[in-house]
Amino acid sequence: METHDSLLARIAPAPGQCSRTILDPATGTPVGEAPVHTVEDLEAAVAAAAAAQPAWAALGHDARSAALLKAADAVERSAEELARLLSREQGKPLNGPNARFEVGACAAWLRATATTPLDPETVVDDGETRAELHYRPIGVVGAIGPWNWPMMITTWQIAPALRMGNTVVVKPSEYTPLSVLALTAVINEELPEGLLTVISGGPDVGEALASHPAIGKVMFTGSTATGKAIIRSSADTVKRLTLELGGNDAGIVLPDADPKAIAQDLFWGAFINTGQTCAALKRLYVHDSLYDAVCEELAAVAAAMPMGNGLDENNVLGPLQNQQQYDILARLVDAARDAGARILLGGNPDPGQPGNFYPTTLVADIDNNNPLVTEEQFGPALPIIRYTTIDQAIAMANALDVGLGASVWSPDVSAAREVAARLQAGTVWINKHGAVDPRIPFGGAKQSGYGLEFGTEGLKALGQPQIINGWTATQTRATPN
């Protein structure tokens, strides 16, 4: 059986190629060497992708779907090795909704994307005019991914792009290139050459990809600031864009909720991937009548969740992936404490502990304008804000300029749906948070981005709409004199 060390050997830099040592965020020890590609390497990859694309498109949906299904099989054959490499590079534990879960999601998304139907749509057929809407390949797609879910989100980007007859050039995060290089090496076992290429470079490569005249669409998941830069870089070539940007998701617990019954789901809504998830629960609004009970039950669940090295089978929480994110989180928690907020749990990192570990932290009695509430913390710290009326909770939840996801918690689903309809977010979950499904479209509102992923709408987003507008055989088109 292939090990993750043999995976590393497959993706190792070529002799004489520039490389960068990737460190384990749990231990600070080397994981492997990642190639540092250049803009010239990007040019070669885009040229190869453009050359390979017409033949791939000509195969049709059935053949392309069959290739994606074989790619899913390949991912499953290497699942444990991919998960162990992911755990070492990103930091997430093997168990829980983490590394093994992420690799499994890659296979699941490949299969779902391959089997989602997309038929031409008849727009008008009135006996005189027949108009059909088709979706043709765009050409070459650029995919720029993040460091928090590097394998899964890359799959979200490449699977629909390939299914729709495009070829793809991937630019992974500089923090987690090994995971993406390894995943694509496995997927490429089942794909023709030139369809899928990873260029592991720096910001100059990302900027060149976003502005490249031969790339027809860019998909990006990451910060709002970087998303805005991509919009600017893509403007001159009028690229199609799908942007899944920063979120600061609110959850609202209604007065009739059962604190004990929802505590476990609240915890994982906030702390999946140790809080490093765009659509995680990052602000929790709780009605005054059950505020203390929710705090108590949530703290009990959080205190029981083990954090540590991801390769330890007992752990379900890991380190922050990088020191920069650790520093952001520490600053926000310290500012909340200094402002008089009450630390229910955590907030006390051990400076002598190796790795980027920040303890699971719950912060109560915090003002809604505190930076821990208004800025996306992207780590294992959750502010819990008290409210007295539903209107007040909705106003606070909608106050920010982002709107990726939100959630409402109540046994009365009808009442929860009424609140959900008033929230400014791309997805609102009822009695759960952050649960994505390859069949259900997903995208942000406000400055959390635009464009939809997943399901039929996700496939359409990777196609160029084309109307075939034809008269019936018995209809003669009028010709101007």
- Give which of 94, 91, 149, 98 is closest to 356, Cα–Cα: 91
- In DSSP terms, 168 is beta-bridged to 141, 196
**Alpha-carbon Rg for the chain in angstroms:** 24
Binning pLDDT at 50, 70 and 90, where does residue 480 land?
very low
pLDDT, tens only, 151-204: 999 999 999 999 999 999 999 999 999 999 999 999 999 999 999 999 999 999
Both structure tokens of 194: 């030139």
Our CA dihedral for 394, 395, 397, 400, rounded to 10 degrees, sits at 150
- The one catalytic residue in 76, 89, 106, 278 is 278
Residue 474 has pLDDT above 70, yes or no: no
Residue 26 has pLDDT above 70, yes or no: yes
pLDDT, tens only, 416-434: 999 999 999 999 999 999 9
- Give which of 106, 89, 109, 87 is closest to 98, Cα–Cα: 87
Decide if 436 contacts 452 (C-beta within 8 A): no
d(CA 431, CA 404): 17
Q: Is 59 left (phi over 0), alpha (psi -120 to 50) or beta?
A: alpha
pLDDT at position 5 = 81
pLDDT, tens only, 47-64: 999 999 999 999 999 999
pLDDT at position 52 = 98
**What is the Cβ-side half-sphere exposure of residue 125, based on CA atoms within 13 angstroms?**
6
Arithmetic mean of pLDDT, 76-91: 98
Arithmetic mean of pLDDT, 397-406: 98
Decide if 46 contacts 212 (C-beta within 8 A): yes
Binning pLDDT at 50, 70 and 90, where does residue 471 land?
confident
For residue 424, give the 3-state DSSP assignment.
coil
**Of 20-24, 91-95, 277-281, 471-475, where does mean pLDDT reach its minimum?**
471-475
CA distances (Å), origin 120, targets 63, 117, 407, 455: 18, 10, 35, 15
For residue 117, give the 3-state DSSP assignment.
coil
Q: Which domains does the chain have, with CATH numbers?
A: 4-117+138-245 (3.40.605.10), 249-430 (3.40.309.10)
User: Scanning the structure block, which residue is given the tokens 């505020």?
Assistant: 291
Task: Confirm whether 244 is a catalytic residue.
Answer: yes
What sign does the CA torsion over 96, 173, 434, 344 have?
Answer: positive
- The one catalytic residue in 244, 297, 376, 453 is 244
Decide if 197 contacts 45 (C-beta within 8 A): yes
For residue 192, give the 3-state DSSP assignment.
coil
Binning pLDDT at 50, 70 and 90, where does residue 470 land?
confident
pLDDT, tens only, 370-382: 999 999 999 999 9
Q: Is 204 left (phi over 0), alpha (psi -120 to 50) or beta?
A: alpha
Arithmetic mean of pLDDT, 273-295: 98
pLDDT at position 4 = 72
Binning pLDDT at 50, 70 and 90, where does residue 316 land?
very high
Helices (H), 421-469: 455-461
Both structure tokens of 121: 């749509």
Task: Confirm whether 40 is a catalytic residue.
Answer: no
Residue 410 has pLDDT above 70, yes or no: yes
Sequence-ordered strand ranges (E) for 294-352:
342-345
Residue 481 has pLDDT above 50, yes or no: no
Contacts of 338 (CB under 8 A, 6+ apart): none
For residue 425, give the 3-state DSSP assignment.
coil
- Give which of 367, 457, 446, 373 is closest to 405, Cα–Cα: 446
Residue 479 has pLDDT above 50, yes or no: no
Arithmetic mean of pLDDT, 102-108: 98
Q: Which amino acid makes up residue 189? A: E
